[in-house]
Amino acid sequence: MKDRQPKLKDYLHDIQQCVKCGTCHAYCPVYDQERREPVVARGKMALAQTLLEGKTEIDERFMRNLSECLLCGSCSNKCPNKVPVEEIVAATRREIAAQKGLSLFGVGLTQVLRRPWLMKLGARFGHLFSAVLFRRIPQQSGLRLRFPAPYIRRDRTIPKVAPHFLRDSYPEFIPGAEDRPHVALFTGCMINFMFPQIGDAAIRLLKALKINIHIPKDQGCCGVPALSSGSGGTVTELAQRNFEALGRTKVDAVLTMCASCNFGLRSHLAKIGGEAGEELAGKVMDIHPFLIKYGIQEILAHTPAPAEVTRVTWHDPCHLRNIGVTAEPRALLRALPGIEFVEMPDADKCCGLGGTFSVYHYDLSLRIGAKKVDSIASTKAAVVATGCPGCMLQLQDSINHAGLNCRVCHSLELLDRALNLEQSE
């Protein structure tokens, strides 16, 4: 499909807003490891600017420098001039793809992303061969790849593909109370294929609140992996598909359980053109504030506490932090019976996954993850909760590398368990 994403030249004014002050140094997780200007936002703004001025060629180093970004938004969040760095980096990557073609990995990835049947087939295949591909690590959750796969190192923890997929397990509409809101649940790929238990938990929680739930089967990928690889056409195509699937029935909110999906869905819907896209984008909402708004805390208040107390800490996914969803997940965790909530230092620092970043720069990604693990370890928490399956993947991998005895889960799983909803069904 034709790429309707903004072009790099559309960002010229934004790029000029970067005054090279250096504030981004203080917040970039990659710079924190590397201490080189090309990895940090202002270096990338200089590269984007010289590219627009025609003063540089896209060579191998140029591409590498542009690939060294997590798109985490830590810099733009603190930028005095509010330069939209992630958008500019993504636009530069699209420019690279337009001039040089997608990387081999990018080609493979986008082929899968734009074909849900292929993704499903791959996932099904992955499930059948899970036992051969992965081996379980004693005492720790998560799995490690047994055989080296292209681009993926063998000591990397990859979760098992789920035996059932989320969207296959539910009807497209689950009615709630008549006077309660209607929501569309955006499942995202990782929750649909790898962590359906998060979706199960979300659906039980929404049912407990008597919400009317729509789960359109033809929704697809949010577009973040395609954005990260620089495939503008795929981003547009996916956004169009999601617009049609999620916009079919009039809903009050489109709920996400994955921070990155929230970012992807919201920003890409807004850019497909037309007011309808923008209106739907405006309804995209993370599930934590929604649950609070519709009274989950009152239910929690009447839930008896278990005998055992678990110590839990919270990791802020970048894409929740960037939209200011930081208080709500904490409020929910604090409200859980049987849970002692502890704040970790630098909870809002990126875990280091960054989508395709960790595929191209796995060592660097692990070094950023190791710093996160130090923060987690200092809390002596048994569980680290977060609101993004991507972060879960990275956190568990980093924890396994460090040999720390700590489990990673989605906050929705803790909520579900505390309310014992699965048993009462």
Residues binding another protein (CB under 8 A): 16-17, 19-23, 25-26, 35-38, 42-43, 46-47, 50, 56-57, 59, 61-62, 64-65, 80-81
Nearer to another protein, 22 or 148 (CB): 22
| Beta carbon of residue 111, minimum distance to another protein (angstroms, whole number) | 29
Bridge partners of 385, per DSSP, are 314, 409
The set of residues, in sequence order, having a beta carbon less than 8 Å from that of 231 and lying 6+ positions away, is: 94, 97, 102, 106, 110
Q: At what angle do helices 411-418 and 327-335 cross, to 10 degrees?
A: 30
Cβ distance 256 to 246 under 8 Å? no
Least distance from another protein to the Cβ atom of residue 32, Å: 10
According to DSSP, residue 168 is labeled G
Beta carbon nearer to another protein, 14 or 397: 14
The DSSP result for 12-73, as a single string, is HHHHHT-----GGGGT-HHHHHH--GGGSHHHHHHHHHHHHTT-----HHHHHHHH------
Nearer Cβ to another protein, position 220 or 230?
A: 230
Pairing assessment for the beta strands 383-386 and 407-410 based on DSSP bridges: parallel
CB of 88 to another protein, least distance (A): 15
Rounded CA separation 284/51 (Å):
34
Phi-psi region of 36 (alpha: psi -120 to 50; beta: other; left: phi over 0): beta
Query: In the complex, what is the shortest distance from the CB of residue 37 to another protein, in angstroms, rounded to a whole number?
Result: 4
How many Cα atoms within 13 Å fall on the side-chain side of residue 194?
A: 18
At 374, the amino acid letter reads D
Cα end-to-end distance, the chain, whole Å: 44
The CB-of-55 to another protein minimum distance in angstroms stands at 8
Minimum distance from CB of 61 to another protein (Å)? 4
User: Minimal distance in Å, beta carbon 371 to another protein?
Assistant: 14
Question: Taking a C-beta distance cutoff of 8 angstroms, is the pair 50, 65 a contact?
Answer: no
Tell me whether residue 260 or residue 322 sits nearer to another protein (CB atom): 322
Of the candidates 242, 291, 296, the residue with the CA atom closest to the CA atom of residue 264: 242
DSSP codes, 308-343: S-EEEEEE--HHHHTTTTTHHHHHHHHHSTTEEE-P
- Closest approach, Cβ 396 to another protein, in A, equals 29
Minimum separation from the CB atom of position 6 to another protein (A): 21
Closer by beta carbon to another protein, 59 or else 218: 59
Which structure tokens are listed for 4?
A: 């309707």
Is the backbone of residue 338 left (phi > 0), alpha (psi -120 to 50) or beta?
Answer: left
Judged by CB, which is closer to another protein: 46, or 382? Answer: 46
Which lies closer to another protein via its Cβ, residue 80 or residue 304? Answer: 80
**Cβ closer to another protein: 28 or 72?**
28
Residues 6+ apart with CB under 8 A from 269: 239, 242, 243, 277, 278, 280, 281, 284
Count Cβ atoms below 10 Å from residue 102 Cβ, excluding itself: 21
Closest to another protein by CB, 1 or 58: 58
Q: Report the residue number, 96 or 284, with the smaller CB distance to another protein.
A: 96
Q: How far is the CB of 46 from another protein (least distance, A)?
A: 5
Smallest separation, CB 85 to another protein (Å): 14
Q: Output 50 or 99, the one with its CB closest to another protein.
A: 50
